C-alpha cells in the first residue's frame, strides 16, 4: 500500500525541476492510492498548510528562544464512504484536486539556520471507528513558494570612489537588483598617488563577496546570522606609466554569479528578514607580508523574483498587514476549486444551435 501526491508540471514556473508557485497561482494535481490488497477505508483527506518559525536558539543555559506562526491551513475530503466503512479492491486510484493561492505575499519557502518557512500538502487515508478516525497512511509533499519581488534597472551605472592612504579605488556597477541565476556585472579601476614607496608597486588582492543576513525580528537577544553565499577573487598587477605619474593598475571587470537557489529579499515577515549585501575588498601587502592598506566598499543588494521592469499586481497584499478577523482570513487564504475536466475533442456540431451548413446567406449587391 502506498500513497503519493503528484503535481501537474505545466502550472507555475520551475526551479531545478521543482514547480514554483506564487501569489494568485492555480495548481492542479492528484493523490494516487496504490493498493496491493483490499483495504477498508472511510475517507481520504488532503491538507494544505503554511507555517513560519524561528529555530530554537539557546540564549543562556535553560533559556531558549523559539516561535512558530501558522500562515494558513485548509483541507478537503477527496473521497469518503457514504455508507460507512468500505473495502477498496486492489488497484490504483487517482483523486484530482485544484488549489488557488490568494493574491497575498507570504514569505518564501526557505530553511535557514535560524528561520524556516514551509508550505506542505498532506494526504491522509483514514478509517473510522466509534466516531474516531484512525490514520492508515499519510504522505507529505513540500511545496516551493516564492513571492513577487520586483527588480529595477538603473538609468546609469552606479559609480563609487573610495580612497585609503595613496590607494584610490573606483567601481562601476550596472545594477543593484538581480534575480537568482543572474551575474553581477561591473568594473574596477585602481590608482595610486605618485610615490616612491615600494609597496605601491606590489600587486593587489581583489575579492567580491555576496553576503546574506537573516535577522530575527521577534527576539531582541537573538543575533543576526550573516553568511557568504557567493564570492570571487583576483589579482591586479601595477602598470608603469612613467616617472612622476600615478601608478595605474590594470582595470578589471567585476563578475559574480548568483546561485539560482537563493531566497529572495524580504523584510515583511513577522518573525525574520532576509537581506543581501555586496562587498568589495582591495588589499595591498606591505613589509613582512603584512596587509598595509585595504579599501572596502559595500552596497545593499536586492534579490528579486521578477525580471527588470516586470511589475506585480496592484491587488497584491502583504500577509503581515492583513486584518486578523475571521472574515478576512477566510477570504485571503488558499482555497480548493472544483477540478476542470478537459475534452480531447471539440464538441459535436448541433444544427439546432447554428444554421445548417447548406443554408447560404443571400448575396449582397453593392
Please state the pTM of the whole predicted model: 0.82
Class of 158-303 in CATH? mainly beta
Residue-wise pLDDT tens digits, 249-271: 667 889 999 999 999 999 999 89
Band of residue 341 on the pLDDT scale cut at 50, 70, 90:
very low
Query: Is it the case that residue 60 has pLDDT exceeding 70?
Result: yes
Query: Is it the case that residue 206 has pLDDT exceeding 60?
Result: yes
**Pair 33, 3: CB distance under 8 Å:** yes
Band of residue 131 on the pLDDT scale cut at 50, 70, 90:
confident
Give start-end residues of each CATH 2.60.40.640 domain in the chain. Answer: 2-148, 158-303
**Pair 279, 230: CB distance under 8 Å:** no
- CATH number attached to the domain at 2-148: 2.60.40.640
**Pair 142, 296: CB distance under 8 Å:** no
3 state DSSP class of 138: strand
* Rounded-to-10 torsion of CA 316, 321, 324, 328: -20
Percentage of the chain exceeding pLDDT 70:
81
Work out the mean pLDDT of the chain and round it to a whole number.
Answer: 84
pLDDT at 326: 44
359 is written with which cell numbers? Answer: 443554408
**Pair 152, 166: CB distance under 8 Å:** no
Alpha-carbon distance of 150 to 312, in angstroms, equals 7
Mean pLDDT of 342-355: 53
Cα R_g (the chain), whole angstroms: 30
* Rounded-to-10 torsion of CA 19, 20, 25, 30: 30
Task: Pick the range with the lowest mean pLDDT from 6-10, 16-20, 49-53, 339-343.
Answer: 339-343
Task: Pick the range with the lowest mean pLDDT from 155-169, 210-224, 315-329.
Answer: 315-329
Task: Pick the range with the lowest mean pLDDT from 54-58, 167-171, 236-240, 306-310.
Answer: 236-240
Alpha-carbon distance of 267 to 271, in angstroms, equals 9
Mean pLDDT of 183-200: 76
pLDDT at 204: 85
> Taking Cα atoms as reference points, which of 304, 281, 72 lies closest to residue 190?
281
Mean pLDDT of 315-334: 71
Amino acid at each position: 500500500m502506498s500513497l503519493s501526491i503528484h503535481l501537474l508540471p505545466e502550472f507555475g514556473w520551475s526551479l531545478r525541476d521543482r514547480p514554483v508557485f506564487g501569489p494568485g497561482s492555480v495548481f492542479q494535481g492528484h493523490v494516487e492510492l496504490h493498493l496491493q490488497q483490499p483495504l477498508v477505508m472511510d475517507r481520504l483527506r488532503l491538507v494544505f498548510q503554511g507555517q513560519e518559525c524561528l529555530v530554537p536558539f539557546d540564549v543562556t543555559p535553560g533559556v531558549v528562544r523559539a516561535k512558530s506562526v501558522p500562515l494558513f491551513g485548509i483541507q478537503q475530503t477527496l473521497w469518503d464512504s457514504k455508507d460507512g466503512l468500505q473495502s477498496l479492491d486492489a488497484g490504483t486510484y487517482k483523486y484530482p484536486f485544484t488549489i488557488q493561492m490568494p493574491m497575498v505575499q507570504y514569505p518564501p519557502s526557505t530553511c535557514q539556520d535560524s528561520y524556516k518557512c514551509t508550505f506542505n500538502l498532506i494526504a491522509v487515508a483514514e478509517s473510522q471507528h466509534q466516531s474516531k478516525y484512525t490514520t492508515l497512511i499519510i504522505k507529505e509533499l513540500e511545496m516551493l513558494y516564492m513571492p513577487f519581488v520586483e527588480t529595477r534597472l538603473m538609468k546609469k551605472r552606479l559609480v563609487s570612489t573610495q580612497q585609503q592612504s595613496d590607494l584610490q579605488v573606483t567601481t562601476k556597477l550596472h545594477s543593484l537588483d538581480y534575480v537568482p541565476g543572474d551575474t553581477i556585472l561591473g568594473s574596477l579601476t585602481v590608482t595610486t598617488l605618485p610615490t616612491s614607496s615600494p609597496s605601491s608597486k606590489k600587486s593587489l588582492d581583489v575579492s567580491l563577496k555576496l553576503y546574506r543576513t537573516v535577522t530575527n525580528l521577534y527576539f531582541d537577544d537573538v543575533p543576526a546570522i550573516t553568511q557568504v553565499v557567493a564570492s570571487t577573487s583576483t589579482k591586479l598587477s601595477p602598470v608603469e606609466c612613467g616617472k612622476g605619474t600615478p601608478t595605474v593598475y590594470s582595470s578589471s571587470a567585476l563578475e559574480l554569479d548568483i546561485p539560482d537557489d537563493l531566497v529572495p529579499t524580504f523584510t515583511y515577515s513577522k518573525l525574520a528578514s532576509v537581506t543581501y549585501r555586496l562587498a568589495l575588498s582591495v588589499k595591498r601587502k606591505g613589509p613582512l607580508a603584512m596587509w598595509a592598506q585595504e579599501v572596502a566598499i559595500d552596497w545593499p543588494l536586492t534579490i528579486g523574483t521578477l525580471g527588470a521592469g516586470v511589475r506585480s499586481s496592484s491587488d497584491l497584499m502583504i500577509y503581515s498587514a492583513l486584518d486578523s478577523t475571521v472574515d478576512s482570513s477566510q477570504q485571503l487564504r488558499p482555497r480548493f476549486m472544483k477540478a476542470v475536466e478537459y475534452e480531447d475533442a471539440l464538441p459535436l456540431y448541433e444544427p439546432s444551435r447554428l444554421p445548417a451548413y447548406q443554408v447560404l446567406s443571400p448575396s449582397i449587391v453593392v
